[in-house]
């Protein structure tokens, strides 16, 4: 159990010890973080997840094992074991210290170190929704349907003419009034709230989206002809 320090604000700290069986491994800790937040008793605040080891990383993405494989393959291309050119080139200078994990340090730099997220109770969420012009639902389920966190009653209390966008609608959405729409008929009204619930929004401009992603990632690869 962690320690709860109370006052005008509260801080709750707990350490998680993760054991891995492989040299490189991705472990989902979502349920562990949810448990810690629940035990803290804090209903409105920020959550910081910070792996303390310098070669450990923490990130937020889909829990999909094909993606895990792709991430590992991508990391190995960018920071291969032994050296930047693999065993055919010079060994990492970090190994001169006696360690052999130079690539792990670089892989951690690519994935990032810590993650901030938030926790919020229904009362605070209801109040925030009532004042919002635009609400974006962006929850992803580990498997199956998304958990509904915004009820129809909350939607009905929103300002008339405000907008709801649920980008997780392909998994059912996290907003109770969300129903899947299409690019040809993208919006509908419910409780006088505009709903936009198109799955795979980027497919509307697929060529532009592909160029954008290429511009982000291409500079990270060393392409030789």
**pLDDT for position 17:** 92
| pLDDT score at 221 | 61
Which pLDDT does position 213 carry in this prediction? 76
Q: What is the pLDDT of residues 129-170, one digit of tens each?
A: 999 999 999 888 777 888 888 999 999 999 999 999 999 999
Residues 100-126 pLDDT 10s: 999 999 999 999 888 988 777 778 889
Q: How far is CA 94 from CA 24, 91, 111, 221, in A?
A: 18, 8, 19, 22
CA dihedral 79, 84, 88, 91 (to 10 degrees): -110
* Domain map (residue ranges) of the chain: 3-117, 122-203
Q: What was the pLDDT predicted at 5?
A: 67
Query: For residue 34, what pLDDT is reported?
Result: 86
Paired tokens of 109: 């730099």
How confident is the prediction for the chain on average, in pLDDT? 88
pTM equals 0.57
Percentage with pLDDT > 90 across the chain? 55
Q: How far apart are CA 32 and CA 102, in angstroms?
A: 29
What tokens appear for 193 in the block?
């709230």
Segment (H or E) for 45: strand 45-49
- Find the DSSP H helices in the chain: 30-40, 65-78, 102-111, 122-130, 152-156, 206-217
- Identify the three-state secondary structure at position 150: strand
- Look at residue 64 and tell me whether its pLDDT is greater than 70: yes
Q: Report pLDDT for 37.
A: 87
pLDDT score for 139: 84
Identify which of 73, 74, 47, 45 has the alpha carbon closest to the alpha carbon of residue 58.
47
* H or E segment to which residue 221 belongs: none
Task: Quickly tell me which residue has 């130079």 as its tokens.
Answer: 102
Q: Average the pLDDT over 194-206 and give the result.
A: 88
Please check whether the domain covering 122-203 is classified as CATH 3.90.1150.10: no
Q: Is the pLDDT of residue 74 over 90?
A: yes
Burial pattern 57-85, b for ≥16 Cβ within 10 A else e, equals: bbeeeeeeeeebeebeebbeebbbbbbee
Indicate whether 225 pLDDT > 60: no
Confidence tier at 7 by pLDDT (50, 70, 90): low
The topology (CATH level 3) of 3-117 is: Jelly Rolls (2.60.120)
């Amino acid at each position: 159990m962690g320690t709860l320090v109370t006052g005008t604000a509260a801080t709750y700290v707990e350490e998680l010890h993760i054991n891995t069986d492989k040299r490189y491994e991705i472990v989902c800790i979502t349920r562990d973080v949810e448990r810690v937040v629940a035990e803290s008793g804090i209903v409105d605040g920020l959550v910081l997840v910070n792996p303390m080891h310098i070669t450990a990383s923490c990130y937020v993405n889909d829990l999909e094992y094909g993606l895990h494989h792709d991430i590992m393959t991508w990391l190995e291309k960018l920071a291969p074991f032994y050296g930047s050119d693999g065993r055919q080139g010079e060994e990492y200078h970090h190994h001169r210290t006696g360690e052999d994990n130079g690539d792990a340090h670089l892989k951690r730099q690519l994935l990032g170190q810590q993650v901030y997220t938030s926790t919020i109770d229904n009362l605070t969420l209801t109040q925030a929704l009532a004042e919002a012009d635009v609400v974006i639902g962006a929850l992803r389920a580990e498997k199956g349907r998304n958990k509904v966190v915004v009820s129809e009653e909350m939607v009905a209390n929103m300002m008339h003419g405000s907008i709801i966008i649920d980008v997780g609608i392909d998994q059912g959405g996290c907003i109770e009034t969300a129903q899947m729409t299409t690019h040809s008929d993208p919006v509908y009204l419910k409780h006088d709230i505009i709903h936009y619930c198109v799955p795979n929004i980027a497919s509307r401009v697929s060529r532009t989206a592909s160029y954008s992603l290429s511009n982000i990632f291409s500079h990270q690869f060393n392409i030789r002809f």
